[in-house]
Chain A
Amino acid sequence: MKRKILINLVGILLAFILGALVMAIQGKDPIEAYYRLFEYSLGTPNKIAYTLNKSVPLVLTGLSATVAFASGPVNLGQPGQLLMGALFATVGGLYINLPPGLLIPLLLILSMLGGALWSGVAALLKHLFNMNEFITTLMLNMIADYLTLWAISYPFFEKNANHPQTPLINQNGWMPEWGSFSSNVIVMLLAFGIIWFIVNRTTSGYEWRISGQNSLFSRLGGVNVKKNYLAVMLLTGALAGLAGGLIIMAGPHRFIKDIGANYAWDGVMIAMVANTGVILTLVFGLFFAILQTGALGMELQVQVPRELIKVLQAVIVLIVVAGRGYFESLFALLEARRKMRGRTS
């Protein structure tokens, strides 16, 4: 366990050093930049609340990818599922009006339905025609992109707006806020708890994990692989959809063009770097949120473009994952040598 944490930290450190080099070459002070980054995202309680708020879509899409990858299905459709979830929540919020206590759960369920519907299409294509979800979800991402763009450009278009967006959703459907702390964080933590419980403490979670590690073994052990596949696809779609719904309900309260840009691919990145661990997904989701929030501080104070963070994230993923494999084989080698020595002496 300690070794795992160490490997992750070393990877992150290496990525930061690389980032510092890039900044130093451009004549910027990297220490100042990193200080600003963390100061801007964690400096005051308000800033922490904002960072937490920002982490919601990251953690949820990360969980979606993590559960999928850990159980076998290569669901890369989080971007599309997120958009569909956001669209469903928006449309519900535009036409349904109930007291907040009813409307908020309803919209959350709608957003999950939207996401599950979109991942369900991919699951169905796999189930009926054995089409690989890895490519179908990617294509469905692009289709969802244009479908939602059409939806906010024509049927749900806000009149007189100068770029595609919908009107505001009913105020009863807005996530309550206390100061700068938004309640969507509570929804995220709830979802995290439920997912952790399902994956680690239920029979189906166990079956999923086993199927992810060895599909043949689980089938021979009597696991209904097809049913589990469908369940995982729907669940992970719902998670990504929930992320989309929460973006709308806690953020701009309307669907604006390019609203989900990047969030969802970040989810895949987080899942990869977290190595299919549910808790690590939460940790890395929060960490990436710190980076993304702090990036603006870095840009304002040290004039380092915030896009550098995108590079840094990808580098972290590559280095941590590569480092994990490299260190593990290194440790295995050392272990084997020690055993050899023990035998010969």
Chain B
Amino acid sequence: MKIVIGLINGMLTAATPILLAALGGSMTYYAGIFNIAMEGMMLSGAFFAVLGSYYFHSWLVGILFAILGAILMALIFVLFAVVLKMDEFITGIGLNLLSLGLTTYMLRQIFKVKGAFSSLEIVPIPKIDIPLIKDIPIIGDVISGQNLIVYLTVLAVIIVHYLVFKTRFGLRLRAAGYNRTCLDTSGVSANRIRIISLLICGILCGLAGAFLSLGYVTVFTEGMSAGKGWISLAAVILVSGSPKGIALISLLFGFTDGLGLFMQRTMPPQFTSMVPYIATLIALFVYSIRLKKKQKIIGA
């Protein structure tokens, strides 16, 4: 039983940052932006989270800083891709590398360390115990006592779903992706919608970054996003942006990650670390097979 609870908790831990970043990606996906900058936004968020938490001794300031740091990246994306009309793909790659460079540079300049910064003065984001529920055996161990960000993530799934499908803004958002000109001619600036979607993406990626560096550890390491932004991009593409689908697929990725940790007893750690990436490849494989079948049906 303990193993199962451990697996579920591991799954939630691994899924949270991917899910948050993918929700951000979903916003921009609906707005018709080919946004691959989640990796960079997340990394920037992770760095600023540590910065805020370290200097103000408060996890709340850490989260705020993380969001601001990720929004800064989003604003640079806006400047280049929306204002200067640069290719979104190149902007994204450039931004990811800029984020990597900036955080490495600031790590050296501000904290005077190379590679990683950790300190007892960094305040982690607390775990929340829900009264009553925490006393229920098994269920209490899973539902209660998770990190604050995990609960925020659940909330974020619901909010994003509501925002995209049930509000006027959501309608415009989808219109911006579906037919920009049409939206523009009906008097709503598509660019404004695109900018808002990027800012929301920044907020969500900032939360993901804060979870990485202040969730279960209190450390920032160079390039600590380690491809999670790319995995979240894969998740967005796999389910065509649907927030519910993203939640499911992120949990699946999280599960394989937890499974990887579990397999470490029998396998060298380098192989188990590959598991999430291999899982992404397998998911893409299944996706393309299904797409092929669909096309065949349409063709016949």
Contact = CB atoms under 8 A, between A and B. Distances in A.
A311 B84 CA distance: 20
**Range of interface residues on A (Cβ < 8 Å):** 35 or more
B65 interface: no
B285 A142 contact: no
Contacts of B87: 321, 325
Interface of A: 26, 74, 76, 125, 129-132, 135-136, 138-143, 146-147, 149-150, 153-154, 265, 268-269, 272, 305, 307-308, 310-315, 317-318, 321-322, 325-326, 329
Nearest to A22: B105
Contact of A311 (B86, B101, B288): B101
A87 to B, nearest CB: 13
A196 to B, nearest CB: 23
Interface-central residue, B76, B90, B102, by most chain A CB under 10 Å:
B90
Contacts of B284: 131-132, 135-136
Contacts of B278: 139, 143
Nearest to B99: A314
B102 A318 contact: no
Closest 8 CB pairs between A and B?
A310-B101, A150-B270, A314-B98, A307-B105, A311-B101, A305-B108, A314-B97, A146-B270
Main secondary structure of the interface of B (DSSP, over half): helix
A311 B230 contact: no
B225 to A, nearest CB: 12
A130 B105 contact: no
Contacts, number: 120
Contact of A153 (B102, B227, B268, B292): B268
A76 B80 CA distance: 21
A154 B274 contact: no
B262 interface: no
B94 interface: yes
B91 interface: yes
B268 A131 contact: no
B86 A322 contact: yes
B84 A326 contact: yes
Interface-central residue, B94, B100, B109, by most chain A CB under 10 Å:
B94
Contacts of A150: 268, 270-271
B230 A272 contact: no
B277 interface: yes
Contacts of A312: 101
A129 B285 contact: yes
Interface-central residue, A138, A268, A315, by most chain B CB under 10 Å:
A138
A325 B86 contact: yes
B280 interface: yes
Contacts of A311: 98, 101-102, 105
B271 A318 contact: no
A64 to B, nearest CB: 15
Interface string B47-73: 000000000000000000000000000
B85 to A, nearest CB: 6
Contact of A142 (B100, B101, B277, B289): B277
Contact of A318 (B94, B268, B291): B94
Interface residues of B, number: 43
Nearest to A323: B84
Contacts of A74: 89
Contact of B234 (A76, A135, A143, A268): A135
Contacts of A149: 270
A229 B100 CA distance: 31
Contacts of A143: 274, 277-278
A154 B270 CA distance: 10
A146 B285 contact: no
Contacts of A135: 230, 233-234, 237, 280, 284
B104 interface: yes
Interface in B192-232: 226-227, 230
15 contacts: A74-B89, A125-B285, A130-B288, A131-B284, A143-B277, A146-B274, A154-B268, A305-B108, A307-B105, A310-B97, A310-B104, A314-B94, A317-B97, A325-B85, A325-B86
Contacts of B291: 130
Interface string B262-300: 000000101101100110110011001101100000000
A68 to B, nearest CB: 13
Interface string B91-135: 101110110111011011100000000000000000000000000
Interface string B235-255: 001000000000000000000
B76 to A, nearest CB: 8
Given A143-B278, A315-B98, 14 more contacts: A130-B288, A130-B291, A150-B271, A154-B268, A272-B90, A307-B108, A308-B105, A310-B100, A311-B98, A312-B101, A314-B95, A314-B102, A318-B98, A321-B90
Nearest to B231: A139
